[in-house]
Amino acid sequence: MFLLRLITTLIFFGVLFCQSAFCAVNYKVKELVLDNSDSIVVIKGQGNFKLAQDDVYAPLPSANGSINIINDIALHSVTNPARYVIDIPGSVLIGANRTYKIKNSKTLQSVALSQFSTNPHIVRVVFTLKNSSDLEKFKTYTDGENIIVKYSPTVVKNVFQYKFYTPAGDTSARANLQNLSAQIVYNNSQEPQNIEPKFQTKYYLTQISQNSDGLILRGLGQISMERVKYNPEGTMASLNLDSCALSMKYDGKTFKIPSSNPDLKATLTIDKLNSKKVKLTLLGENLRDYRFVVAPDGQSLFISHRTYVINTFFTSRTAKVNSYKFEKNANGYSVFDLAFNMPVTYDVFELNNSFYLDVNNLSDYNEELLKEVLAQAGVEITVYKISSDKTRFIVPLKNISFTYANVESNAKSIKLCFKDNDIQTPVAEKKEEKQDNINVVYIPKQETPEVKEPKKKKETPKVISSLKKVVIDAGHGGIDSGAIGGGHYEKTINLNIAKMVQEKLAKKDVYVHMTRTKDATMSLEERVEFSNELNPDIFVSIHTNSTLNLETQGLETHYFKDNSIDLADIIHKNFASEKNLRKWDTKDRGVIKSRFYVINHTEAPSVLIEIGFISNDEERAKIVKKDRQEEIATAIAKGILEYLKIK
Ligand code: ZN
């Protein structure tokens, strides 16, 4: 009897699942993600799509002139009205059929997602355009999991392609971003919903390949690199790609950097640091000799030992200098602007207190013109040819510091921005304060923090807009383990709790950004910059305490700026509640004003929570347990929700 029922059930489900000859539904279309560059839309999906779609992507036009398009997906263009249609086989749409009405786009009017057919299963995506001439600009790719549609060749102009420090007050780079948004209209009776671009992602890293002398990272959008950081021995180099999304299949993966010289051994590990940044870590020897070369299309990055940076790899055409300009603005920033007659490949690096720019396909740098411009500017820049088509610009960083290099998206202009050192700079100030802070953050704290001040009077919390954004910062990570006790690392406890807080807030529809989601190294500046760029409602840093007095235990909430007092009070009230203190058998060490770097430099109301002492045997035994971490996370999340006035 039971067996019969089982067989019947199996047959029943078999019929349900295999309505067509291609019975497998192997892909789910989940949502549409807008990118505020107004050039890319990502159809986010899930499933085995990638299994059928190997090697479908080669976006480097100059390499062989061909672009492979997903073979299995049917693409149609319709000119009247202008529409671009994608049919995805073996797929189901999650949620109701819907149309995204796009606002402030130069190209798109709307994007519709629908379950076009269930036998066979096909999800249809229809892009309705403003202009039929834009149809030819459409390109479709996949990163294995998602379908990426690029609909405009013009990507964001004036992004910091190579970001050393973003000068304070220079917001021009951001001003050019499109203010894209959309309204989702559902085909059922569901209320329309407004959405904003989920990512400010400007680069989708989708493919990593090797040639005989290096690694090639390819993607869509514009590469934006931060300054390369080295350890003193030169055996580790790290570089963040800012505003970058990573294909899941590469997260956490390590690649050998090939070389025809067997003595050169280096590896590259690639990690998704958080929702914005991807971290590249090189391990090997003499890593200062490695170069990161950006292709003229700004979409590919070649990583190789300097001896193998071949000029013709990305482009066989040599460029000439059209013009030089030198401009000094009132804030002490100088911009050296180089314009070329055609796109260039370049790499930048620092050596012996000088800044180097190598333009890899520049045959003529127009020496006369350069001399003239530099004489007027009164600066010292040395230029010489390394080879017939490779030119090196050297800027000694004696009285100036380098702030950023910025390449136009057509790679025909490079701007180098410098700051006079004798003018009070935000950079210099930052460094001094960091020095202070290393003492506070990394060395076990004294029983009584030196910078303890009485609490300020309460202010009423500011009125917060409807979209709540929270940055959760798991303290330390990667090579910085934080405090250590009984074989346990602070960084791990912090991350566990941070993730739990994230999960709890996400359930309440709070938009949570994590500074790190894995065991990755991240500087204090990077955390602050991450938060300030996102402009969240609040910033919450999670740490575990440590002190030389092994008896000490208890809970602390730290704030520094006046705008953070209420947040600190409300979180602490929930965290160090009577009930929790009794249950956890610990002490309330209070709300403390402390000059920690992250809570001092983040613009949003910010707190740093010390969830207990790893140096105390009893407390440590409790806080390393999952149950206790859940309870701590619940209390912190409760405080955050109360502050944000979310029920
Ligand atoms: Zn810490």
355: domain CATH number is: 2.60.40.3500
Q: Are residues 362 and 279 in the same domain?
A: no
Cis peptide before 59 (omega within 30 of 0): no
d(CA 557, ligand 1 centre) in Å: 12
> How far is the centre of ligand 1, averaged over its atoms, from the C-alpha of 243 (Å)?
27
CA of 70 to the centre of ligand 1 (A): 47
Share of the chain above pLDDT 70, in %: 76
What's the gap in Å between 517 CA and the centre of ligand 1? 16
- Position 439 confidence tier, pLDDT thresholds 50, 70, 90: very low
For the chain, report the end-to-end CA distance as a whole number of angstroms. 51
pLDDT of residue 43: 86
Q: pLDDT band at 67, cuts 50/70/90?
A: very low
User: Which of 9-13, 478-482, 494-498, 576-580 shows the lowest per-residue confidence on average (mean pLDDT)?
Assistant: 9-13
Whether residue 137 is found in the same domain as residue 86:
yes
94 within domain boundaries: yes
Comparing 182-186, 199-203, 404-408, 605-609, which segment has the lowest mean pLDDT?
199-203
Q: Cβ(464)–Cβ(537) under 8 Å? A: yes
CA of 543 to the centre of ligand 1 (A): 4
Q: Which residues of 543-565 are buried (b: 16+ CB within 10 A; e: fewer)?
A: bbbbbeeeebbbbbbbbbbebbb
Q: How many helices (H) and strands (E) does the chain have?
A: 13, 41
Rounded CA gap, 148 and 299, in Å?
Answer: 14
- Which residues, at least 6 apart from 454, have a Cβ–Cβ distance to it below 8 Å? 593
CB 521 within 8 A of CB 480: yes
Distance 550 CA to ligand 1 centre (A): 17
Residue 601 is assigned to a structural domain of this protein: yes
C-alpha 17 – ligand 1 centre gap (Å): 52
Q: How far away, in angstroms, is 328 Cα from ligand 1 center?
A: 41
- Asked if 293 contacts 360 with a C-beta cutoff of 8 angstroms, the reply is yes
Q: What's the 412 CA to ligand 1 centre distance in angstroms? A: 45
Residues 482 and 420 in one domain: no
Q: Are residues 140 and 56 in the same domain?
A: yes
What spacing in Å lies between the alpha carbon of 483 and ligand 1's midpoint? 6
Q: How far is the CA of 541 from the centre of ligand 1 (A)?
A: 9
* Centre of ligand 1 from the C-alpha of residue 609, in Å: 9
- Cα of 585 to ligand 1 centre, how many Å? 22
Contact 482, 544 (CB under 8 A): yes
What separation in Å is there between the alpha carbon of 256 and the centre of ligand 1? 34
How far apart (Å, rounded) are the C-alpha atoms in residues 413 and 402? 18
pTM: 0.58
Cβ count within 10 A of residue 5: 9
Least confident of 58-67, 381-390, 568-577, 601-610: 58-67
C-alpha of residue 236 to centroid of ligand 1, in Å: 24
Distance 545 CA to ligand 1 centre (A): 6
Give 634-638's long-range contacts (Cβ < 8 A, gap of 24+). 634/500, 634/504, 635/574, 635/575, 635/577, 635/580, 636/497, 636/501, 636/540, 636/542, 636/571, 636/574, 636/575, 636/609, 637/500, 637/501, 637/504, 637/505, 638/574
For ligand 1, the distance from its centroid to the CA atom of residue 533, given in whole angstroms, is 23
- Under 8 Å between Cβ of 543 and 610: yes
Q: How far is the CA of 546 from the centre of ligand 1 (A)?
A: 8
DSSP string, 266-289: EEEEEEE-SSS-EEEEEEES-GGG
Q: How far, in Å, from the CA of 441 to the mean position of ligand 1?
A: 6
Give the 3-state secondary structure of 179-218.
CCEEEEEECCCCCCEEECCCECCCEEEEEEEEECCEEEEE
Domain annotation covers residue 1? no
Predicted confidence band of residue 57 (pLDDT cuts 50, 70, 90)? very low
Query: How far, in Å, is the centroid of ligand 1 from the Cα of 529?
Result: 19
The rounded Å distance from CA 555 to ligand 1 centre is: 13
Backbone angles phi, psi at 352, to 5 degrees: 45, 50
Q: Which tens digit of pLDDT belongs to each residue from 97-108?
A: 999 999 888 899
pLDDT digits (tens, 9 = 90+) for 541-582: 999 999 989 999 999 999 999 999 999 999 999 999 999 999
Contact (CB, 8 A) for 497 and 491:
no
User: Residues 343-362: pLDDT tens digits?
Assistant: 888 888 888 888 888 888 88
What pLDDT is recorded for position 60? 26
**189 CB neighbour count, 10 Å cutoff:** 6
Same domain, 79 and 191: yes
pLDDT interval class at 16 (50, 70, 90): very low
Same domain, yes or no: 487 and 621: yes
Is the pLDDT assigned to residue 61 strictly greater than 50? no
Question: What is the whole-number distance in angstroms between the Cα of residue 564 and the centre of ligand 1?
Answer: 19
Of 389, 413, 437, which residue is a domain's last?
Answer: 437
Give residue 314's pLDDT: 67
Residue 472: its pLDDT value, please? 96
Could you tell me the distance, in angstroms and rounded to a whole number, from the CA of residue 561 to the centre of ligand 1? Answer: 19
Of 275, 310, 345, the position where a domain reaches its end is 310
Least confident of 156-160, 267-271, 403-407, 430-434: 430-434
Q: Which of 76-80, 425-429, 634-638 has the lowest mean pLDDT?
A: 425-429
Mean pLDDT of 609-625: 97
Collapsed DSSP state (helix, strand, coil) of residue 126:
strand
Same structural domain, 246 and 373 = no
Q: Does residue 120 belong to any structural domain of this protein?
A: yes
Query: What is the distance in A from the centroid of ligand 1 to the CA of 476?
Result: 6
Q: Nearest CA to 225 among 276, 160, 270?
A: 160
For residue 170, name the pLDDT band (cuts at 50, 70, 90): very low
Domain endpoint, select from 310, 337, 365: 310
Examine residue 18 and state whether it is found in any structural domain, yes or no: no
C-alpha dist (Å) from residue 440 to 16, 436, 494: 62, 7, 17
Ligand 1 center to residue 633 CA distance, Å? 16
521 with 618, same domain: the answer is: yes
- Supply the mean pLDDT for the chain: 77
Return the CATH number at 263.
Answer: 2.60.40
Distance 586 CA to ligand 1 centre (A): 19
Task: Give the distance (Å) from ligand 1 centre to CA of residue 525.
Answer: 15
Highest mean pLDDT among 249-258, 375-384, 575-584, 594-603: 575-584
How many domains does one find in the chain? 4
**Distance of CA 445 from the midpoint of ligand 1 (Å):** 10
558 and 416: one domain? no
478 in the same domain as 356: no
Between the CA of 490 and the centroid of ligand 1 the distance, in Å, is: 7
Whether 71 maps to a domain, the answer reads yes
Ligand 1 centroid distance, CA of 641 (Å): 24
Query: Tokens 């200098």 appear where?
Result: 321
How remote is the CA of residue 536 from the centroid of ligand 1, in Å?
22
CA–centroid distance, residue 481 to ligand 1 (Å): 9
480: three-class secondary structure by DSSP: strand
Are 47 and 181 part of one and the same domain? yes
How would you classify residue 139: left for phi > 0, otherwise alpha for psi between -120 and 50, otherwise beta? beta
- 405: Cβ contacts below 8 Å, ≥ 6 apart: 160, 161, 162, 164, 348, 357, 414, 415, 416, 417
**CA distances to 290, 350, 550, 586 from 234, in Å:** 10, 13, 38, 45
Question: What CATH number is associated with residue 593?
Answer: 3.40.630.40
Half-sphere exposure of 327 (CA within 13 A, CB side): 9
- If asked whether residues 305 and 324 sit together in one domain, one would say no
Residue 228 and residue 349 in contact, taking contact as beta carbons nearer than 8 Å: yes
Report the half-sphere exposure of 289 (CA within 13 A, side-chain side). 12
Locate tokens 């059929």: which residue? Answer: 97
Residue 613: which domain range?
469-643
DSSP H or E stretch at residue 99: strand 98-103
Identify the band that residue 32 occupies on the pLDDT scale cut at 50, 70 and 90: confident
C-alpha 295 – ligand 1 centre gap (Å): 40
Per-residue pLDDT at 50 exceeds 50: no
Q: What's the 608 CA to ligand 1 centre distance in angstroms?
A: 9
